[in-house]
Amino acid sequence: MVPDSAALAARELRAVFSRLRRTLREASGTSDLTPSQTAVLSRLINDGPASASALAAAERVRPQSMAATLAALEQHGLVGRRPDPEDGRRQVVSLTEVGLARVADSRQAREEWLTRAMAEHYTEAERATVLEALALIDRLNR
């Protein structure tokens, strides 16, 4: 039997992270991109260039959905495609200079907003409590 406190904590955690994600998205200046587009940009910056099929598999979406996401990112000038040097039939998707700058600017804006908010809304002791709670939450990833 799952304790009521675990269910309550799960609901509250999901709700808080959902609101925080929206707020950070607004602070980042990427509100013109969909969450799927943002996820692809993050994957490309973290994992490097990839084929459309590899991106679709990594994001757990259909290849057709990934094709639409990549087309929109190409329209924004954020990604480009080039032939795969190992398989000329396949194309590799990578961030353009504009895409790299956009991701860097977005990350910096989110971090600056979060730093200001933590400084303005929490005492030193509360920030220490947040760090302790984050260590506990991170255990969910293991």
Distance CA 99, CA 107 (A): 12
Distance of CA 134 to the CA centre of its chain: 18
Distance CA 28, CA 41 (A): 13
Place of tokens 């977005």: 106
Helix (H) or strand (E) holding 90: strand 87-95
Is the Cβ–Cβ distance between 99 and 77 less than 8 Å? yes
| Per-residue pLDDT tens listing for the chain (142 residues) | 888 999 999 999 999 999 998 899 888 877 789 989 999 999 999 999 999 999 999 999 999 999 999 999 999 999 999 998 888 788 999 999 999 999 999 999 999 999 999 999 999 999 999 999 999 999 998 8
Q: Exposed, middle or buried, 99 (CB in 10 Å: 0-12/13-18/19+)?
A: buried
